[in-house]
Amino acid sequence: MTHGAFTRVAEIETSLSRTSTRYYPLPFERKEYQDRLTRCREEMTKHGIDLLYVTAPEGQCYLHGYEVTWYQAASTRHWIPATATAVHVDHDRLIFIGGEDAVPSAAEDRRAIGSSTFGADDEVFMTVAKLLEDEGWLGTGTVVGLEHWSYLPPRAVSDRLEAAFASRGAQVIDGSDVMRRIRQTKSSAEIAALEHAARIGDIGLAAVAENFRPGMTHAEVYAEAMYAMAQVGGEVPGIAQAVQPGWPQSTHLLPSRRQISEGEPFAVDVAGVYKRYHANIDRTLIWGEPSAELARMNEAAKQALEVLGETAKAGTPLTVVNQALRAHYIETDVWQFHDYCGGYELGIAFPPDWVGEFEWSVADENPRGQIEANLVTNYENTFRNEDPVYPFAQIAFSRDTLVYSNTGARRLSAIPVELIVLGE
């Protein structure tokens, strides 16, 4: 790590980057999971839900630590996506339905239900309903919350689940907000995991800066970051992206064969991942002498994070935060180049996304809500100057992950929010 921007990037000890062959620990202590279950039941009470049927992988991982790569999200009809976690408002335990028995979980009550193709009797769905009915958790008048905003299960499955629950006299409503709400603010254990994830992300960016040479492809840059993060215990991120070029005008490109030229500003957007918790970090880089405009735009982006850090205290309305940031962008004459400037919640994530429920945009003059203590989001600066006087679009893309408290917003990355000039 020879570049000065990376002097504060911390090394990660081997004990945190390796797990012995026959040891597969749960991400957190059981008390942490018990506390999460309690919060879930309290939120269910607020929504009038008796039985919450959690199908999103993020929610199930949150409740009991289960994680795999495959949830039958869009596969053959022979393999019905049936993995789910049932929570009852009156019971201090949960039932984990389906899943792979060999994979660790804090759920002590695990039920296998087998698998089936769609048949006239909808066997799988009626099996689930009968299981919950026999447990005393499902019956006439039971209010069941299904996660309508989850991509799992697909509609063909959720419709059959709803019909199976209704056949027992239950009322089915959208229960998406329960898990999304309780996952929004983080415990001290979650914040510690995010802090470690940021250290992993820093190492990925440092590896790119150390090994980049003009002519490398987007995929090669992505591989440098991923390999470095994997070496220190990083996990697979929810989104497979890294390079954000000046052209084409997209910040969500898959790693590709497109090369990066000398003098071409580009950003590297990674997520360090630890215990499935994502810390999003992004900086703009260039090989060669930057233009004065490129340096100016990135300095304004850097200062925006300082404004956010001072303004976004717990209890501060988002309108106040937005006003301060817009005033800064206008004063530094970069608002005219803005695309998306704002932030969204980070935490547990599985492919194909790492975005949580909470989100705000600085362009919104009347945003709802306020900053909460122990909220964790990224913050994105996205500016693009395409004046043809420059051989490449001049960009100022930067992201950092922040924890909000009563004293302000704290950045988790040790890398300065500034333009990184390589090849000097």
How do residues 171-216 score in pLDDT, each as one tens digit? Answer: 999 999 999 999 999 999 999 999 999 999 999 999 999 999 999 9
> Whole-model pTM?
0.96
Measured CA to CA, the distance from residue 47 to residue 141 in angstroms comes to 15
Final residue of a structural domain among 182, 205, 232: 182
Whole-Å CA distances, 173 to 48, 103, 401: 10, 31, 34
C-beta of residue 336 within 8 angstroms of C-beta of residue 345: no
Please name the residues in contact with 38: beta carbons below 8 A apart, sequence gap of 6 or more: 92
192 and 177, same domain (yes or no): no
The one-letter code for the residue type at 71 is Y
C-beta of residue 277 within 8 angstroms of C-beta of residue 193: yes
Instruction: Using DSSP, state whether 278 is helix, strand or coil.
Output: strand
> Which range has the worst mean pLDDT, 15-19, 346-350, 374-378?
15-19
Measured CA to CA, the distance from residue 200 to residue 278 in angstroms comes to 10
Burial of residue 361, with CB atoms counted within 10 A of its CB: 0-12 exposed, 13-18 middle, 19 or more buried: middle
Q: What is the mean pLDDT of the chain?
A: 95
124 and 169, same domain (yes or no): yes
347 and 327, same domain (yes or no): yes
Q: Is residue 257 part of a domain?
A: yes
* Residue 120 scores a pLDDT above 90: no
Measured CA to CA, the distance from residue 295 to residue 297 in angstroms comes to 6
Q: How many structural domains are present in the chain?
A: 2
Whole-Å CA distances, 223 to 165, 211, 254, 269: 46, 11, 12, 13
Whole-Å CA distances, 340 to 179, 379, 385: 27, 10, 14
226 and 263, same domain (yes or no): yes
Structural domain boundaries enclosing 316: 184-422
Give the model's pLDDT for residue 78: 84
178 and 192, same domain (yes or no): no
> If you average pLDDT over residues 34-60, what whole number do you get?
98
Measured CA to CA, the distance from residue 52 to residue 145 in angstroms comes to 5
